[in-house]
Amino acid sequence: MFNVKISLFARTRDLEHNIDSLHDKIIEMTMVFKEAVDIYLQEMRSEKYRQTSKKIKIIEHDSDTLRREIESKLYEQNLIPDLRGNILELVENLDRVINLFDEVAHKFYIERPDIPEAYHKQLRELVNQVADCAENMAIASRAFFRDLVTLRDYSKKVYLLEHQSDKTAAKLRNEVFDSDLDLARKMQINNFIEEVADIADLAEDCIDALLIFAIKREI
């Protein structure tokens, strides 16, 4: 009996650790992604970019493993029966954000877009906003498990940053299409801007769902 209790405590602690680690991975991903885009804009597809891109791949792979562990532990141990479905959805959403970061970084590596220096500053600004948006989403999501007031505070920041990133992306796309670049390059750069901005949109969707779960979580 005592052993059963001890292992139950240990398993709960493990799961808590896994959930925290998944959030850590998102925050880590946002930092590495910012770094990767910065390197790409300076050096294009250099060895340094390849290394950073590899780091992103590892983070994505680790978070996939964490997601699977969380999902199976939640069901195997029959934990939080009333919120289990919501938590699974949340974990899936977080994983989708991480995957999108990875996809965009990989796309830079494969497609090697040639982005004129005139747009670098704004693109960096967009990447920073998007990364901050995802980081705040991770903090809000972590707060869902412990502190609902903090969740609301950070959700507000996510909405704000998503709005800013939308504006930055729109402005940048306008400038790209107003330029003398040929249409193929315009389309390619536009496509990258859209994909980067999509990360913030996905983070916002994640927060929308999270706030609904939070209503259910209130006792």
Partner 1 sequence: MFEYLFFLSSGLFLGWSLGANDASNIFGTAVGTKMLRFTTAAIIASIFLVLGAVFSGQNTAETLNALGEVNTLPAAFTVSLSSALAVLMMLKSGISVSISQAIVGGIIGWNVYNHKPTDTETLTNICATWIFCPIISGVIAVGLYICVKKLLHHSKVHILWQDMAVRVGMILTTALGGFALGANNMANVVGVFIDSNVLSPLKLGNFYTLSSTQVLFFLGAVAACIGVFTYSQKAIKTVGKNVLSFSPTVAWIVILSQSLVLILFSSENLENFLISMNLPPLPAVPVSSTQAVIGAIVGIGLVKGGKGIKWSLILRVVSGWVATPVIAFILSFILLFFMENVFKQTIFMP
- For partner 1, which residue of 1, 110, 184, 219 counts as binding (CB under 8 A)? 219
- For partner 1, which residue of 47, 76, 146, 184 counts as binding (CB under 8 A)? 146
Residue (200 or 210) nearer to partner 1, CB:
210
3-class secondary-structure state, position 161: helix
Quote the CA–CA distance of 39 and 96 in Å, as a whole number: 24
3-class secondary-structure state, position 25: helix
User: Scanning residues 155 to 214, which ones bind partner 1 (CB under 8 A)?
Assistant: none
- For partner 1, which residue of 47, 76, 82, 178 counts as binding (CB under 8 A)? 82
CA distances from 95 to 26, 49, 88, 98, 173 (A): 9, 23, 11, 5, 28
Residue (1 or 183) nearer to partner 1, CB:
1
- For partner 1, which residue of 76, 78, 178, 180 counts as binding (CB under 8 A)? 78
Quote the CA–CA distance of 13 and 196 in Å, as a whole number: 35
Give the per-residue contact string, 5-24, with partner 1 (x = CB under 8 A; - = no): ---xx--x--xx--x-----
Residue (144 or 154) nearer to partner 1, CB:
144
Residue 110 interacting with partner 1 (CB under 8 A): no
Per-residue HEC secondary structure of 50-62 comes to HHHHHHHHHHHHH
- For partner 1, which residue of 27, 83, 88, 211 counts as binding (CB under 8 A)? 83
3-class secondary-structure state, position 146: coil
